[in-house]
Amino acid sequence: MSANIPPGISYLVKSLPQLLLPPCVVSALLYFYRLYAVDNVLSARLVTTLYILSFPMALMISVVFSDISNRVAARRMNATMLPAPSFWEDPTPGSLVSLYRAMKSFRGGYPGDGLENRLVTTGPTFNFRVLFQDRVVTFEPNHIKAVLATQFEDFDKGEDAVSTLGSLLGTGVFAVDGELWKFHRSLTRPFFAKDKITHFDIFDRHAEQAIEKMKTRFKEGYAVDFQDVVSRFTLDSATEFLFGSDIGTLSDPLPYPFFTYTGSVSPLNQTFSAQFSRAFNEAQVATAYRTRFGLMWPLFEFWKDHTKEKMKLVHGFLEPIINEGVRRSKMGQNEKKHSDDETVLDHLIAHTEDRTIIRDEIMNLAVAGRDTTASLMTFTVYMLSQHPHILRKLREEILTVIGPHRRPTYDDLRDMKYLRAVLNETLRLYPPVPFDGRQSNKHTTLPPVKKGDKPLFIPAGTRVVYALFVMHRRTDLWGPDALKFDPERFLDERVHKYLTPNPFIFLPFNAGPRICLGQQFAYNESSFFLVRLLQNFSTIELSEESQPPDSKPPESWKEEGGTKATEKVQLRSHLTMYVAEGLWVKMGEAPATEDF
């Protein structure tokens, strides 16, 4: 079907058989009625009403039949149906009120709003039906373990993910299943071996550029959007790692706070690399929004795919780079194979001639290489700005192990236990991917929450959303101080009390066969940058006056308790979590000599 057909029209055309079935059944029934009934005269109004009612009646029959067949299947598997929220929480057809709340929360709510209360009302795993479709939500570690690892073969990324993520990630490793996923993973695995991710020249070059730009801005008396800086740092580092040369986003001017005349820059005046980054962000936001609707998302983007124009610019940037790589390969100029200088692009071109596969895989790795690590560093600095005693202790470790100037090595980073604990505690409270999901490919079950209970039945084709953001904050899993930012929990007896016996309570990089290949790359990049940052700066202060007013947390949050009440920024999420309108900070340069 032509790519120019609006998504809504395309969806309706594909759904035509299901749409035509109810009126066709009514038409057949009317035909036989008129054929055999003695008094076969029906008014036009009645006939019209029957045709109109055929659609909700067909939907109701479908829902009831599905429920009955699922209950029969559950009984055969000696399983029980999943608990669900009370009907009175949302008595509207298709849970339309709940859908509205989810859409509203996406725009300005707090991640996981209301889910923590489900531990009491429904338990940590429940069926949250939206638009008459089953959608399981879980923050139970044993169930997440089953989905990601022990019952891996029962769950795929699924048709939902392919449909919603397709325009952004295409056929890349994060959006496909089966043999294609294995092919992508085998292609990229060699580039995340230790010898590839411990060469820190790329990190050092871009970290120095980023820190110098920050110093210049601080000397002007303005705060810096740290989230913007590290997003540029990770994107330039990722593109150099992928292509052999970076796209130069750190060469563009940094934004000023909103209250200055130069605070905003028109998209028309942005450099191409800045336009690329902006389009990249907007495409992710649009993609994340459509996941609320599952396979029905085209009805909410009826006349226009909201990612299409953005992805044109992104692909327009990638195509010349890929074409140049292919040209070098065909001319025999690419002699980097199996050498330390071989890029990911070189490697992909050597193993496939399919331009779409190459482009999509590069896109997937760019998303992972930029956003997850930028999220980790952003929220680490946010937490350091709120906990100066932790900042001081972290700097003490850095200056003791490495000193104020020396470039860190892999061995240095490996030995810095407190630095790793700070990163892990940030990953616990602010996981870069706070929510993710899989889809069951057959009738299956999840293990019971309590010993002696029956397993929980999962129908085929059910979307299972796992909420790491909620699981990582559960006091029954992490202790009574679970909402407190405390890196020591990864160093003291709490490790053996909570994490060691139940490692699936902490999953910032996923688990099982699809565990993030770039996990150690992310740790190395984040650690390296933070070391360089804190060698140069000794204080970090959140600049609340530089935050745009509409990005500040609403006053109502302060009344709701927990970390929500103490947040100084608004948390948002597309594919990864980020700070709304940026993390504006001021930093004080480190003195020449320091005593601890």
Residues annotated within the binding site for heme are: 516
User: Which residue is listed with tokens 């005269």?
Assistant: 41
Q: What angle do CA 534, 518, 523 make, to 5 degrees?
A: 20
Give the separation between CA 582 and CA 227, rounded to whole angstroms: 6
Distance from first CA to last CA of the chain, Å, rounded? 67
Contact (CB, 8 A) for 110 and 557: yes
Cα separations in angstroms, 303 against 167, 169, 274, 311: 15, 21, 28, 17
H or E stretch including 457? Answer: strand 456-458
C-alpha of 360 from chain center: 17
User: At what angle are helices 226-243 and 272-290 packed, to 10 degrees?
Assistant: 100
At residue 225, φ and ψ (nearest 5 deg) are -80, 95
Do strands 463-467 and 435-440 pair parallel, antiparallel, or not at all (unpaired)? antiparallel
Tracing tokens 């009317």 back to the chain, one arrives at 30
Residue 7 near residue 15, CB atoms below 8 Å: no
Residues 217 and 224 sit within 8 Å (Cβ to Cβ): yes
Q: CA 528, 532, 536: angle at the middle one, nearest 5?
A: 165
- In this structure, the strands spanning 463-467 and 135-138 are parallel
- Alpha helices, DSSP H only, in 519-562? 519-536
**Cβ within 8 Å of residue 126, ≥6 positions away:** 82, 83, 84, 85, 118, 136, 137, 138
What is the longest distance spanned by two Cα atoms in the chain? 104
Binding residues: 516
For residue 453, give every residue at least 6 positions away whose Cβ sits within 8 Å of its Cβ, in sequence order, or none. 80
